[in-house]
Structure 1
Amino acid sequence: MKNIFLVAMMAIIFAACQPTTFTINGTIEGVTEGKAILKNIVDGRPASLDTADIVEGKFTFTGTVDEPELYLIFVENNNTPIVFFGENANINIEANANNMQEAVVSGSDITDVYTSFVNKVPGKTRLEEINSEYQKAMGAGDQASQQALRDEANELMEEQKAYFLDFIKNNTNSIVGAYMAMQAISEFDMEEFKALTAEFEANLGDSKYVTNLKKALEPMEKAAAAAMATEIGAIAPDFTLQSVNGDEVTLSSFKGKYLLVDFWASWCKPCREENPNVINAYAEFAAKGFEVLSVSLDRDQDAWKKAIKDDGLVWTQVIDGEGNTANTYGVTSIPFTLLLDKEGKIIAKNLRGEALSHKLSELLN
C-alpha cells in the first residue's frame, strides 16, 4: 500500500512540475530589427498566431499550447521558415537569416526527434548536387548525363521514401510520427493506413494529429467500399433519384433487362461525344431487352434538360446533383458506365464506342 501511495504522490508531483506555458527566445544573425511571425498549420496552410518585434536580432514569444504542434517562424522579407514543434517548454532558437533551415532549436524534446529525423534523411546533399549537375548537363545538351543523373536521383528518392516510411512505422508513439504519416498518406494502401492510425490513436489518444489521420482515413474507406460495391460480379447498389419529369426512379425497377447505367453531365465534353454511340446501341438493342439509365451530375437543371434535348436522348434520365449516388459508386471521372445483367449484377465497366455494341450483340443476338 505504501508503494502505491508513493507512486501516486510522485505522479502528482511530476505533473505539477510540467510547464503549462511556453517561452520561445530567438536570436537571428543578420537581422537587427523587424518582425518575427509565429504560425501553425490550419487545414494544410500556415496561419498566423502571433507577431514579435525583433530587437538587436532577438525576439520572444510566450503562450500556451494544449498539445505539441508544428510551428513555423518567419522573418519579414524572408520566405524560409524556422520549423519546429511548439510545446509548453522554454525553447531557444539560434538562426542565420541566410540559412534559416539550419536553425538550431533547443529545449523541445519533440523537436529533437524531428531534427534527428531530418538530419538523417539519406542523400540530401547528393540530391542538391545532382540538381546542379543536371542543369549543367541540360545546358550542354548532354542527354546521356541527364539520364544517368535522373536514374541516380530516382534511386535516392526511393531510399528516402523507405527511410520516411520506416520512421513513421517505428514512431507511432510520437506526435512527429503522426505528423509525418499525414505527409506520406499517398504512400499507404487503405488497410495499412488504417492499422497505423489505430496504433497512433492507441498511443496518442485524441491528439489533433490523430484526428487528422482519422479524417484522412474516411474518404479512403469510402473509396474502398465503393470499389468493392462496383466490382465485376457485384450487385449494383440500389438508388432512387428524380427523373427529368420529376418522378422518382429506382435502379432495381429495371431488373429483367440488360441495363447501362451511364454517369454523365451536360458540361462533360467526352460524355457528350459518347452519347451518339449510346444512341446507336439503344436503337439497335432496346427491342431485345436493353435499357439505359443516364445519371447526370449536373447542378444546373436547365443545362441538363437542354443537353438531353440537344443530344436526342430518349431513355430514362435522372439527376444526382449532390453527387451522393456517384460517391456510392466511386465515380471519380465521367463518363463512367456500368453494364448490368437482368438480375442487376455488374458484368462490364466503361464500355466505349463499338465495345458497347459488341458486348450487347454477344448478350442479345
Structure 2
Amino acid sequence: MYIRKLSKRKIYNIQDEFYDQNKHANMKNIGLLIILLSVIISCAKNNKSEGYTINGALRNLPDSTSVVMYLDMDTVLDSTIVMNEKFRFKGKIERPRRVMLRIESTKEGRLFWLENKMIDITGEKGNIQNSQIEGSTTQDEAELLLSRKDSIYEKMESLRDMITDANRDSLFLVHEKMIDQEVEINKEFIKDYPNSYESITVLNDGTMQRLGPLETGKLFSLMNDSLRSTKEGKTIADFIKLPASPKVGEQYVDFKQKNMEGQSVKFSEVIGKYTLLEFWASWCGPCRSSNPELIQLYERYKDNGFTIVGVSLDTNKEKWIKAVQQDGLNWQNLSDLKGFHSKPAEVYGVTAIPENFLIDENGIIIARYLRGNNLEKKLKELLEK
C-alpha cells in the first residue's frame, strides 16, 4: 500500500484550509441563525400587534355563564362562557372600536374601547358596569375625559331630581348651560388628543351639532387621515359643509323631510303665521309628557295662524308613528329616521330634546327653548293683540 507522506507544511496548509472552510461555514450558520431569530421575533411582534386578547376575571359569576361582546350595541362580535370566574376573547379588528361586554343572564353590561392589544377586565357580578379595564390606550383616554366631566354629570343628576311642573322651564335653561360646559370640556380634550378615536367619537356624538360647522371644522382639521376616513369622520366632513346654525333674530333654514306616509314635505311649504318647529322623539320622556300642553296651545291658537311642525329624531318608523297616534299630534310630523344625525337637527344645532324654535311670518326665529308657561305667554302676546 502506498501511503503518501505529507510534509508538515502541507499538513498545516490543509489544516488552515479546513479551518478557513469551517470558519466560513460557521459564519454562514451564525448569519442564518440571526436572520431566523429576527424573523421569529418579527412574527411574534406582528402577532401581538395584529390581534387582541381579552382576559376577563369577574367574581361570583357561575360556570357556563354566557358573555357576549357587541359591536355597535346590536351586532354580536363574539361570545364565550365563564369557567372558574374567568373568560377569554381572541380576535382582530381593523381599528379601535367601542364595544359592549354583556352578561346575558343578568343583562349587565360594560362599554369599553377594544383595540388590538392585551386587555384585562376585572370586576364582579352585580357591578359589571364599573369593571376595571387595563391595556387599551383609547379606553384610558375615554376615562380621562369622563373624569373631567364628573362634576357636571353629578349636577345634571341632582337637577333631574329637582324637576317639577313649576320649575321645569327654568331648570331646562340651567341644563342647557351645563351642556355648554360639557361641550367646552370636549373641545379641550379634542385639542389635547386630536388623534384619539375617543376624540372623533365625541365630536360626532353631539358636540359638532352644538359647535356648528365652522368651529367643528377647526377641530376636525387637527385630526389625522386615519380618523378622517372613518364612518364618523365622513359624517363630520359632510356636517362642516352645512350652513351655520341659525340663531334667534336670524332667518330660518329650509329643509325637506318625509311625513308618515313617506311623502317629501318642504318646511317652507307648511309654515304658518307663527310656527313652532318642535324637535322630539318617541323615546323621549320629557317630550311625550309635554305633548298635552302643546296640543292645548295648538287647538287654542291654530285659527289665529299658529301651527306646529314636529321633527322626530326617531330611528324606528313604527315607534315614531305609534307615538304620534297615541299622543294625538294632529300637525305636520316629519322625520328622516336618522336620530340626532337628522339633517334639520344638525342644521339647527339640536343636541338635546325636547327643543324648539318659534318662527314668525317673516321667517325670522324669534325665540328658542320655549316650554310650558313661557311658550303660552309668548303665544298670548303675539296672537291675542
TM-score (norm 1): 0.50
Q: Which protein has the larger Cα radius of gyration, Structure 1 or Structure 2?
A: 2
TM-score (norm 2): 0.47
